[in-house]
């Protein structure tokens, strides 16, 4: 059962990834990354139960914090300067 | 059945990897790299490497993404299309890959319990750790005691990176209390940052001191600790963060952690043991080991946290004023 | 701390001095700290050589965990020689460094410079003495990372790209080594080199081990700048600060060669490396190509540091050539050249450092008539150059002599001719400098140029002195290398 | 004086979290826990982060009704949004508008803003003093928010702080 | 009782999984950045909440439950903050939201 | 002073002299005195050894042993004694000549000139007294390096070009071929000591010995056997005293001296006689004699003609050595001395002409004998000696060479000697002829900027003194050849 | 797991490694190279961790009732290697920043052009 749950979460991550590739703006990618982070947290939690070692939840906790900080960092560090209008992927499609 | 999850993760990694190479926006590539790192951390969890997963998540998705972003902010986001033909690199890569695949042909199969790795040195660690070191986390016992010297080297590497970045980029102090103009808009972030800053630090210290029992240890703790401060800097501006932990203090902490680690080694020599032989630190070898591990993990934690923070400061303080 | 702790002390001392240097605010104090550390290392290195000579191979189990479970330090004669090389250069460069660094590096970076320098020293020493394949990787990275920083401190902006290029290539190399070590571990379950060598024969004919061998070889070859993986080297040596060029040119690649030796002979065993993998033939080919091409390229360089850098690539070719013969004579010739070349290149780069201090340039066109104004420096340069060419009574002659006779006894005829012919190319590029410095009319800017200060000249001449001494009486060094080579090859035969 | 109280509260709260996280109640670890907590409080003090707006206030039992109400709202709108996502025609009508926040304190406003975001269908896009710019997925969601019930409830909550 | 909890936990887990999937589909299907934010909210709140609740029931009451609660607590705060920060940055970055013209009038 | 120490002093004295010379660089007269004193002392020291050597003792001293079998050590034996005597004596004369020459040309960098000169002589001493091939090789290289600054003394591009060629040929051949031969010999025998009867016999096959011999003969580039001879004309950019002493005596004679040493002490005459390659190499030497003489014939520049003549004459000695008979060896040894005296005289004269009239071309020398009778008389003596006409020294050495050739029934060698004698005559006698019997070419003398006063009369007295001494020596050696002959006979161990 | 199926795991990891490696050597953008390096190294870590895995094993934290643990040694090695990789990344990025300041570009091709002009 846990397997099934994890698999579903993985599929969700895959879809999130797809959004990250498609963009089209940087914000979409960051959003996708953020969602993948949340999903990963859940997956790790589920995996911990699956392998019978729920103490792995520490890892999930770390993930929550890290993915939050890095999302904030994208926005703060690159600021508004890295706005959508400048996303090269938007006009050229792919590299 | 874990193999299924393992496979899906690998495929996802592969897709991510390919698209990172193809992306021409560096920011997009960075975001994907962060995802890549998170995915591989998940893979580590699936493969039972919890300590590694913790570290990879804290580093790959956290600090190194932040550093990449800071660099992009200082340079450019746009990658020009390559002028060179990629034929030669492609050939090199294919040859290397073929060599590796050729090498795998005689490998023990994935997860095979009869593989040499599971028969020689490692079983001794698993078997002896409870008796010799007295802590449940074998990774920590190997890391801090059996191969404690590697960890000292690792610390030296991080120390080198800190000193190197400081040398390369120099250090500029930010004007004390100044907040950049956009900060007024960051009400939510500021309040949440204020609420979570102590929690992250607490969690970091928890990881620091529970490395013996669960995943974690000085290194992970240091990174998380630094991440807490980075959050603070993000929410309240770099100037405030630098006021909270001044650069000079960081410098001292960086050196202190290293010296603490080395000091434990030297102390054990002075007590008549070999370098890093914790057994001699206390009357009872096991408690000696325990003491030694706590001390060196502390050294690692202090140095790593301060180096990470220092690197962040250095990168960010390079940003033109008012753009923070 | 007893005499038995020496193997680890010599790595730990610079490692402990590095954070202390970081704390010291005054550049002078930092320098003094680094100086003391490096001289202590030299003293320990000398004691180590003496001890290895007296009692044979030393083994030190760090943390008292015995070999395959813990990390072991292992010093045999060859290792002791390498330690000595690194320690000598490290110690002699230090007194030289103060003036040169004051001149070339911003004052606020000075303390950090010494920190990185000590780390680099520590990394190199650690690589030499360690008996653990993974520990080797860690110390390799310490030395590499610190040398990237050191190189980037060069005064021109090209230093940055040079350091970056080195970083990329070096990291690829290190990662290759990591892959190789991983594959080895996968097939044997151990990381200790001696343990590895005992367990490898069982699995030697697997494809995994062959791949591991290939990756380790390529990885280390990048580090030691084996032609054609040398691209990082000329830029790095050219644009680094003088002291760094001297230190790294004299030690880093040499330690790389030593690591290669360790892997070929100790870990994989001679039979596997040379009979099964035919690495001897490949190395010989690359070495020959490297010697010829790099020497020829050196002839056309107008920057003396760059010229010396290309010459280094060629000289590494000589060392590798000796090793590729896979005979006791060849390996010992390679090791002799390893020692000699370290001393020669160290001296030459120090001399260039003196020139750079006064001229602010290492370009050939700025050196017209320099010998009048800096006679001692130029004399040192000429002496080093003669040694590099292999003029009799210099150490370079000894190593070329041994190389040539090893090639002769191995029946490699054309190699002998090549060795001699390429030293002629060496003559050509060294002579270009001599001609400009001695036989050209000084330029107008030259009259302000004075002789370099004594603190810089003395280390330079000490290295030259070692060269000349070895040239006059090589018995000490040949003794050590012969023992070292015999241990290496002997281990392979067991 | 009150600052000291807040610091004490914070210490207690953090130590409690430590105990919950730890699971190993040896003397050594308890001491470490205490030291860690004190260190963090010290740091927080230096950073001038210790005031009324610290964690414990969010956990006061008197806030429970609000949390439950919010949970109900969340479930409702979650189902609503999910159905819209799965609907092949995807019946959405995005809208961007502003609402005025009636709260006085920062924490109150943040609670309001985050509550808006937490309920799917509405996202706080910008905060400018008491003017919140909100993006809504549907007109209905926008209307819900504009009705001001949430604002009122959060204002009530604020008084509890 | 145990069976009830067991079954309940699986219902929660499955429901959570479904919501996660729906959220993911949403992020793919929605037409522009701002609408996608709502899909993420679905994941962050309902999906995560249900999965964690399911796990809590699985684990019984222990420190594990506390940790799961803690995770949930963290998520409840960080999730919307991140989403808000993103939206804010996008708005400042002059990313125009697609709005329903017809309804606006 | 014990003979061993004397040997050491002989090498060390000129090597240390530069220190004194440099110290005195501000005061020209004491500086030159230092040179003269050094050269004088050196000659006395060398001479003091000669008795011992004639009595059969072999003073030897070892200094260092860098590698097993590779020693830095000295040993005096007759051939070396002969070479040392020649070089040290001629150094005195050349020093005198140099003073006059350099001062009248107002040459720059005189201090370094004298210093390098002393070092070059020291190296020549080292070569002469070398106790083994390795030591010899060391000083051989040192000689090359120390003469480079002298060759490029003029400091212009032309000089540097010549210097590069000089260095390239000499170091190139010595490192690639000679060093290879050394390494090989050492790896075969484990030693490089000079031993009577050679060290290779019984160790190598004739085939290998043949290859080695080729390596040695061509590796010793200073012997200027074709095709490695071009450095010698190139080196003529040097000031005349340098050409005189170094490229007529010290350097080139060091080359052929080395050839002789190799033949005698490394291979051993008897062993060599059984190697077929020897004969082929002798033909190469013979060809060099003839070809170089023919080229000399076509040179208009006086110094170049002398240089080509030197190439030709050097191959005499190489040929002698390769005749591998005691008589040939004696002839070769004698020719070192005889040719040395004659050639230095000729160069001195060329320098004197240059100093006095600024003329370098033979076609400009019409009637010069009337202005410079002393110089041209000396020149005539030298020329006759080169041809081998009695009563000049050249006759004696040629006599022995011819005897050697006849003894071994080498018709080619004998023929070449006779042919080349004719050629010598063909390129030297015309000079004598135009100098004395042509009327001066007025158009040249009246060229603008030409200092006509200089053409009236001889070069500076010191110059004339030097060339007179050597010319006299050339004559005297015909009548009193005992000293060199005794030494050579002692070497070949018997009567001629 | 029988036959080659037991190895596909490694192969995917190798493909990952090569993806990163390709980015390092083929891309002219310096940041892209660093990212490539990061991917390359991370993939190597996955290789190590894969080899530590044991079928039916669990994380190497000793606990009552568990018999089979994964191999802790590669975990330790990779912990160290991750740190090394981070250090390299940090240093590389610092260099990139300096290069950008000195050259005004982080494109390798442009930098070479400028270097040649020097």
Q: Mapping DSSP to helix (H, G, I), strand (E, B) and coil, where does residue C361 land?
A: coil
Give the whole-angstrom CA distance, residue F102 versus residue F31: 13
pLDDT for res F452: 44
Report whether E74 contacts A64 (CB < 8 A): yes
Q: Is A85 on the interface with E (CB under 8 A)?
A: yes
pLDDT tens for B49-61 read 888 998 988 888 8
B1-118: CATH architecture: Up-down Bundle (1.20)
Which one has a higher pLDDT value, B184 or B71?
Answer: B71
Domain stops at, among F213, F247, F273:
F273
Would you give per-residue pLDDT tens digits along chain F (496 residues)?
A: 688 888 888 888 888 888 888 888 788 788 888 888 888 888 888 888 888 888 878 888 888 887 777 888 888 888 888 888 888 888 888 888 888 888 777 777 778 888 888 888 888 888 888 888 888 888 888 888 888 888 888 777 788 888 888 888 888 888 888 888 888 888 888 888 888 778 887 778 888 888 888 888 888 888 888 888 888 888 888 888 888 877 777 888 888 889 888 888 888 888 888 888 888 888 888 888 888 888 888 888 888 888 888 888 888 888 888 888 888 888 888 888 888 888 888 888 888 888 877 778 887 777 777 778 888 888 888 888 888 888 888 888 888 888 888 888 778 888 888 888 888 888 888 888 888 887 766 544 544 444 444 445 677 778 888 888 888 888 888 888 777 787 877 776 644 4
Place of tokens 């804290």: B58
Q: Do A58 and B323 touch (CB under 8 A)?
A: no
Confidence (pLDDT) at B174: 59
Q: How far apart are CA F164 and CA F153, in angstroms?
A: 13
Q: Work out the mean pLDDT of chain D and round it to a whole number.
A: 85
End-to-end CA gap in chain F:
34
Per-residue pLDDT tens for C382-433? 999 989 988 888 888 888 888 988 888 888 888 888 888 888 888 888 888 8
Q: How far is A47 from chain G (nearest CA, A)?
A: 12
Which residues of D have a CB under 8 Å from any CB of B? 10, 14, 17-18, 21-24, 29, 32-33, 36-37, 39-41, 43-44, 46-47, 49, 53-55, 58, 106-107, 109-110, 113-114, 124, 126-128
Is D135 an interface residue toward E (CB < 8 Å)? Answer: yes
In this prediction, residue B183 has a pLDDT band, given cuts at 50, 70 and 90, of low
**What pLDDT shows up at residue B31?**
87
Quick check: is C364 in a domain? yes
Beta bridge partners of G69: G58
Among candidates E81, E88, E92 on the partner chain, residue whose Cβ is nearest the Cβ of B192: E81
CB of D82 within 8 Å of a chain E CB? The answer is yes
**Shortest alpha-carbon distance between residue C422 and chain F (Å):** 9
> CB under 8 Å to C417, separation ≥6 — which residues?
F176, F180
- Pairing type for strands C58-61 and F70-75 reads unpaired
Smallest CA–CA distance, residue D97 to chain E, in Å, is 10
Sign of CA dihedral F347, F352, F358, F361: negative
Tell me, what's the pLDDT at A79?
62
| Interval C249-261: pLDDT, tens | 999 999 999 999 8
Q: Is the separation of the CB atoms in C171 and G88 below 8 Å?
A: yes
Q: Based on the domain organization, do F243 and F342 belong to the same domain?
A: no
pLDDT band at B151 (very low <50, low <70, confident <90, very high): very high
Report the Cα F483 to chain-centroid distance in Å.
Answer: 18
Taking an 8 Å cut-off on Cβ atoms, the answer to whether A59 and B215 are in contact is: yes
- Provide the pLDDT for residue C90: 92
- Whole-number Cα distances in Å, B304 to B20, B101, B256: 29, 36, 11
F241: closest CA among F67, F84, F95? F95
Give the residue from F242, F273, F304 where a domain finishes: F273
- pLDDT beneath 50: ranges in chain C: 492-494
Which among F185, F203, F204, F202 has a CA at the least distance from the CA of F194?
F185
The pLDDT of residue B175 is above 60: no
Question: With an 8 Å Cβ cutoff, is D111 touching chain E?
Answer: no
Per-residue pLDDT of A5-26, as tens digits, reads 888 999 999 998 888 888 788 8
User: CA nearest A52 in G: which residue?
Assistant: G58
CATH 3.30.300.340 assigned to domain D60-160? The reply is no
- The reply to whether F269 and F294 lie within a common domain is no
Let me know how long chain E is. 105
Cα–Cα–Cα angle for F118, F121, F122, nearest 5°? 85
In DSSP notation, C83-94 reads HHHHHHHHHHHH
Question: Exposure of D9 by Cβ count < 10 A (0-12 exposed, 13-18 middle, 19+ buried)?
Answer: middle
Nearest CA in chain C to F136: C392
The reported pLDDT for the residue numbered F443 is 47
Q: Considering chain E, what is the average pLDDT of its residues?
A: 85
Return the minimum-mean-pLDDT range out of B115-124, E93-102, G64-73. E93-102
| Confidence class for position D55, pLDDT limits 50, 70, 90 | low
Residue E77 to residue B189, Cβ atoms within 8 A: no
Interface probe for E, chosen from A17, A37, A38, A62 (most Cβ of E below 10 Å), is A38
Q: What is chain D's length?
A: 161
On the CB side of G34, CA atoms within 13 Å amount to: 29
> Given a cut of 60, is residue G62 above it in pLDDT?
yes
Least trusted range by pLDDT, from B183-192, C140-149, D83-92, F70-79:
B183-192
Q: Give the model's pLDDT for residue A92.
A: 38
The count of domains in chain F is 2
List the single best residue of B105, B124, B152, B164 to mutate versus C (max C Cβ within 10 A). Answer: B164
Q: Domain boundaries in chain A?
A: 2-81
- CB-based contact B185 D128, cutoff 8 Å: yes
Cα separation of F196 and F186, whole Å?
17
Which of B106, B145, B295 to substitute to test the interface with C, most C CBs within 10 Å? Answer: B106
Judge: B10–G12 Cβ closer than 8 Å, yes or no. Answer: yes
Cβ contact F147:F120 at 8 Å: yes
**Where in the sequence is the domain holding C359, given as residue range(s)?**
300-494
Confidence at residue C369, expressed as pLDDT on a 0 to 100 scale: 83
Cα gap C270→C194, rounded to integer Å: 14
Residue C466 lies in a domain: yes
The pLDDT of residue G4 is 62
pLDDT mean over G58-66? 82
Partner chains of E (3+ C-beta pairs under 8 Å): A, B, D
Q: Set out the domains of chain G in order of their start, with CATH numbers.
A: 12-52+71-117 (1.10.287.3510)
Above pLDDT 70, what percent of chain B? Answer: 94
Are 3 or more Cβ–Cβ pairs between F and G shorter than 8 Å? no
Contact C338, C318 (CB under 8 A): no
Q: What is the pLDDT of residues B78-95, one digit of tens each?
A: 777 777 677 888 999 999
Residue of B nearest to D43 (CA): B244
Count Cβ atoms below 10 Å from residue F294 Cβ, excluding itself: 15
Cite the residue boundaries of each domain of chain D with CATH code 3.30.1370.10: 60-160
Report yes or no for ipTM above 0.90.
no
Closest CA to B103 of C261, C190, C184, G5: C184
H or E element at residue A13: helix A2-22
Count of domains forming chain C: 1
Domain ranges of chain B: 1-118, 120-324
d(CA C36, CA C250): 20
What's the pLDDT band for A30 if we cut at 50, 70, 90?
A: confident
User: Over 60: is that where the pLDDT of B17 sits?
Assistant: yes
Who contacts F296 (Cβ-Cβ below 8 Å, separation ≥6)?
Answer: F305, F308, F309, F311, F312, F423, F427
Q: What is the mean pLDDT of chain B?
A: 86
Per-residue pLDDT of C197-215, as tens digits, reads 888 888 888 888 999 999 9
The region, left, alpha or beta by phi > 0 then psi within -120 to 50, assigned to residue F366 is: beta
Give yes or no: residues F26 and F161 share one domain: yes
pLDDT score, position F373: 81
């Amino acid at each position: 059962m846990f397997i099934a749950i994890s698999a579903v979460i993985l599929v969700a991550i895959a879809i999130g990834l797809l959004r990250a590739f498609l963009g089209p703006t940087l914000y979409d990618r960051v959003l996708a990354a953020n969602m993948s982070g949340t999903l990963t947290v859940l997956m790790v939690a589920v995996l911990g139960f699956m392998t019978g070692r729920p103490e792995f939840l520490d890892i999930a906790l770390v993930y929550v914090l890290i993915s939050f900080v890095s999302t904030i960092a994208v926005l703060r560090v690159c600021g508004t300067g890295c706005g959508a209008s400048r996303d090269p992927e938007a006009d050229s499609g792919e590299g | 059945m874990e193999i299924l999850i393992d496979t899906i993760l690998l495929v996802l990694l592969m897709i991510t990897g390919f698209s990172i190479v193809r992306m021409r926006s560096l920011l997009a590539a960075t975001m994907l790299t962060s995802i890549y790192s998170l995915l591989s951390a998940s893979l580590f969890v699936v493969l039972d490497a919890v300590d590694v997963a913790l570290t990879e998540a804290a580093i790959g998705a956290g600090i190194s993404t932040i550093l990449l972003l800071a660099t992009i902010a200082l340079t450019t986001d746009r990658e020009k299309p390559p002028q060179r033909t990629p034929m030669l690199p492609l050939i090199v890569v294919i040859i290397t890959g073929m060599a590796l695949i050729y090498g795998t042909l005689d490998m023990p199969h994935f997860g095979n319990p009869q593989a040499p790795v599971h028969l020689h040195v490692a079983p001794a660690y698993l078997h002896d750790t409870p008796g010799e070191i007295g802590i449940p986390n074998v990774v920590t016992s190997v890391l801090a005691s059996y191969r404690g010297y590697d960890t000292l080297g690792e610390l030296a590497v991080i120390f080198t990176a800190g000193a190197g970045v400081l040398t390369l980029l120099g250090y500029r102090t930010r004007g004390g209390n100044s907040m950049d103009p956009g900060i007024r808009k960051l009400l939510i972030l500021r309040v949440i940052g204020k609420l979570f800053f102590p929690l992250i630090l607490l969690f970091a210290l928890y990881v620091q001191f529970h490395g013996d029992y669960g995943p974690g240890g000085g290194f992970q703790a240091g990174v998380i600790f630094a991440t807490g401060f980075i959050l603070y800097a993000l929410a309240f501006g770099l100037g405030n963060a630098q006021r909270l932990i001044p650069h000079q203090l960081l410098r001292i902490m960086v050196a202190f952690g290293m010296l603490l680690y080395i000091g434990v080694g030297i102390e054990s020599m002075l007590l008549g043991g070999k370098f890093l032989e914790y057994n001699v630190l206390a009357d009872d070898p096991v408690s000696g080991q325990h003491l030694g591990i706590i001390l060196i993990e502390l050294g690692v934690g202090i140095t790593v946290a301060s180096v990470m923070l220092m690197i962040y400061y250095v990168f960010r303080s390079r940003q033109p004023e008012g753009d923070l | 701390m007893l005499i038995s702790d020496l193997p680890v002390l010599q790595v730990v001392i610079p490692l402990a001095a590095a954070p202390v240097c970081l704390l010291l605010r005054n550049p002078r104090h930092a320098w003094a700290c680094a100086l003391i550390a490096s001289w202590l290392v030299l003293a320990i290195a000398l004691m180590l050589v003496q001890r290895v000579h007296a009692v044979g191979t030393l083994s030190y189990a760090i943390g008292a965990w015995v070999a395959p479970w813990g990390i072991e330090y292992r010093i045999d004669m060859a290792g002791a020689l390498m330690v000595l090389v690194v320690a000598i250069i490290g110690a002699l460069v230090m007194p030289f460094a103060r003036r040169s660094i004051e001149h070339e590096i911003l004052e606020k970076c000075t303390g950090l410079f010494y920190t990185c320098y000590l780390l680099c020293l520590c990394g190199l020493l650690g690589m030499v003495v360690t008996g653990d394949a993974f520990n080797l990787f860690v110390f390799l990275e310490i030395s590499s990372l610190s040398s990237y920083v050191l190189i980037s401190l060069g005064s021109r902006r090209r230093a940055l790209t040079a350091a970056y290029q080195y970083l990329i290539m070096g990291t690829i190399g290190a990662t290759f080594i990591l892959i190789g070590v991983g594959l080895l571990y996968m097939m044997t379950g151990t990381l200790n080199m001696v343990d590895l060598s005992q367990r490898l024969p069982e699995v030697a004919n697997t494809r995994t081990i062959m791949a591991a061998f290939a990756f380790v070889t390529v990885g280390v070859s990048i580090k030691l700048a084996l032609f054609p993986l040398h691209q990082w080297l000329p830029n790095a040596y050219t644009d680094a600060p003088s002291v760094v060029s001297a230190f790294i040119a004299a030690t880093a690649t040499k330690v790389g060669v030593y690591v290669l030796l360790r892997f070929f002979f100790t870990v994989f065993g001679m039979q596997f490396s040379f009979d099964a993998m035919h690495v001897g033939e490949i190395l010989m080919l690359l070495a020959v190509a490297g010697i010829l091409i790099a020497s020829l390229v050196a002839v056309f360089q107008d920057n003396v540091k760059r010229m010396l850098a290309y010459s280094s690539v060629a000289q590494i070719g000589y060392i590798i050539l000796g090793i590729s013969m896979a005979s006791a004579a060849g390996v010992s010739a390679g090791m002799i050249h390893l020692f000699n070349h370290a001393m020669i290149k160290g001296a030459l780069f120090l001399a260039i450092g003196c020139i750079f201090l006064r001229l602010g340039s290492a370009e050939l066109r700025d050196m017209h008539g320099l010998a009048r104004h800096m006679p001692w420096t130029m004399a040192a340069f000429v002496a080093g150059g003669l040694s590099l060419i292999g003029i009799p009574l210099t150490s370079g002659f000894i190593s070329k002599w041994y190389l040539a006779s090893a090639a002769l006894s191995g029946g490699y005829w054309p190699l002998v001719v090549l060795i001699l012919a390429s030293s002629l190319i060496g003559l050509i590029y060294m002579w270009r400098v001599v001609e400009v410095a001695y036989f050209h009319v000084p330029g107008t800017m030259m009259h302000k140029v004075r002789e370099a200060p004594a603190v810089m000249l003395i280390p330079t001449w000490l290295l030259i002195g070692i060269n000349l001494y070895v040239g006059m009486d090589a018995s000490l060094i040949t003794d050590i290398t012969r023992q070292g080579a015999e241990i290496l090859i002997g281990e392979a035969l067991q | 004086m009150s600052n000291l109280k807040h610091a004490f509260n914070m210490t207690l709260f953090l130590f409690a979290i430590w105990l919950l996280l730890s699971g190993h109640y040896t003397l050594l670890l308890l001491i470490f826990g205490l030291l860690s907590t004190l260190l963090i409080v010290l740091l927080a003090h230096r950073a001038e982060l210790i005031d009324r707006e610290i964690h414990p206030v969010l956990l006061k039992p008197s806030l429970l009704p609000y949390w439950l109400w919010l949970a109900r709202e969340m479930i409702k709108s979650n189902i609503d949004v999910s159905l819209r996502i799965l609907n092949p025609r995807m019946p959405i009508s995005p809208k961007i508008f502003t609402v005025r926040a009636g709260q006085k304190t920062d924490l109150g406003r943040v609670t309001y803003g985050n509550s808006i975001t937490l309920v799917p269908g509405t996202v706080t896009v910008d905060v400018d003093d008491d003017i919140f710019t909100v993006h809504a997925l549907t007109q209905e969601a926008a209307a819900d928010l504009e009705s001001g019930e949430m604002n009122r409830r959060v204002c009530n909550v604020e008084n509890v702080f | 009782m145990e069976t009830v909890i067991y079954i309940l936990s699986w219902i929660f887990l499955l429901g959570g999984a479904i919501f996660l999937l729906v959220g993911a589909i949403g992020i793919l299907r929605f037409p522009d950045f701002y609408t996608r934010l709502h899909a993420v909210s679905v994941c962050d709140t309902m999906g995560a909440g249900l999965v964690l609740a399911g796990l809590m029931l699985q684990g019984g009451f222990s420190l594990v439950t506390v940790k799961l609660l803690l995770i949930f607590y963290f998520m409840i705060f960080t999730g919307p903050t991140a989403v808000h920060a993103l939206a804010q940055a996008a708005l400042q970055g002059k990313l125009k939201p697609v709005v329903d013209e017809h309804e606006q009038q | 002073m014990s003979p061993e120490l004397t040997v050491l002093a002989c090498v060390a004295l000129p090597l240390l002299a530069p220190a004194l010379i440099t110290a005195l660089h501000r005061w020209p007269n004491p500086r030159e005195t230092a040179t003269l004193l050094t050269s004088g002392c050196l000659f006395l020291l060398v001479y003091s050894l000669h008795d011992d050597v004639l009595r059969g003792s072999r003073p030897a001293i070892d200094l260092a042993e860098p590698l097993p079998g590779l020693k830095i050590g000295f040993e005096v034996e007759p051939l070396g004694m002969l070479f040392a005597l020649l070089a040290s004596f001629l150094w005195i004369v050349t020093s005198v000549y140099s003073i006059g020459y350099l001062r009248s040309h107002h040459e720059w960098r005189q201090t370094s000139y004298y210093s390098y000169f002393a070092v070059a002589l020291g190296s020549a001493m080292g070569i002469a007294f070398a106790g083994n091939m390795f030591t010899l090789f060391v000083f051989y290289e040192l000689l090359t390096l120390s003469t480079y600054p002298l060759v490029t003394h003029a400091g212009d591009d032309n000089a540097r070009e010549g210097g590069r060629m000089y260095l390239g040929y000499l170091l190139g051949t010595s490192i690639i071929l000679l060093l290879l031969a050394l390494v090989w010999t050492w790896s075969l025998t484990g030693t490089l000591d000079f031993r009577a009867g050679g060290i290779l016999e019984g160790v190598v096959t004739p085939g290998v010995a043949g290859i080695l011999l080729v390596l040695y003969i061509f590796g010793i580039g200073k012997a200027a056997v074709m095709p490695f001879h071009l450095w010698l004309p190139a080196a003529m950019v040097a000031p005349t005293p340098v050409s005189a002493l170094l490229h007529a005596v010290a350097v080139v004679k060091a080359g052929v001296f080395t050839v002789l040493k190799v033949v005698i002490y490394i291979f051993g005459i008897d062993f060599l006689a059984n190697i077929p390659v020897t004969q082929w190499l002798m033909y190469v030497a013979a060809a060099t004699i003839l070809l170089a003489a023919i080229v000399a014939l076509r040179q208009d520049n006086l110094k170049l003609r002398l240089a080509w003549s030197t190439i030709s004459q050097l191959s005499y000695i190489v040929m002698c050595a390769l005749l591998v008979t005691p008589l040939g060896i004696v002839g070769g040894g004698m020719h070192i001395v005889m040719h040395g005296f004659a050639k230095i005289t000729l160069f001195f004269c060329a320098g004197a002409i240059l100093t006095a009239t600024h003329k370098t071309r033979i076609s400009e020398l019409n009637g010069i004998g009337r202005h410079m009778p002393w110089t041209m008389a000396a020149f005539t003596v030298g020329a006759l000696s080169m041809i081998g006409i009695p009563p000049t020294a050249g006759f004696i050495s040629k006599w022995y060479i011819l005897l050697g050739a006849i003894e071994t029934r080498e018709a080619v060698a004998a023929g070449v000697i006779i042919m080349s004698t004719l050629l010598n005559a063909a390129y030297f006698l015309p000079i004598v002829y135009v100098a004395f019997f042509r009327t001066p070419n007025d158009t040249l003398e009246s060229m603008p900027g030409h200092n006509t006063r200089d053409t009236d009369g001889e070069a500076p007295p010191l110059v004339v003194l030097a060339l007179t001494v050597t010319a006299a020596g050339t004559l005297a050696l015909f009548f009193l050849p005992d000293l060199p002959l005794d030494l050579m006979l002692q070497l070949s161990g018997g009567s001629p | 797991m029988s036959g080659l199926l037991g190895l596909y795991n490694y192969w995917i990891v190798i493909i990952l490694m090569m993806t990163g490696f390709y980015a390092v050597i083929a891309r002219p953008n310096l940041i892209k190279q660093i990212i490539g390096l990061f991917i390359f190294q991370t993939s190597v870590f996955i290789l190590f961790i894969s080899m530590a895995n044991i079928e039916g094993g669990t994380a190497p934290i000793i606990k009552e009732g568990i018999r089979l643990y994964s191999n802790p040694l590669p975990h330790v090695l990779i912990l160290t290697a991750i740190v090394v990789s981070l250090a390299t990344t940090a240093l590389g990025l610092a260099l990139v920043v300096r290069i950008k300041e000195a050259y005004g570009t982080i494109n390798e091709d442009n930098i070479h052009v400028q270097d040649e002009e020097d």
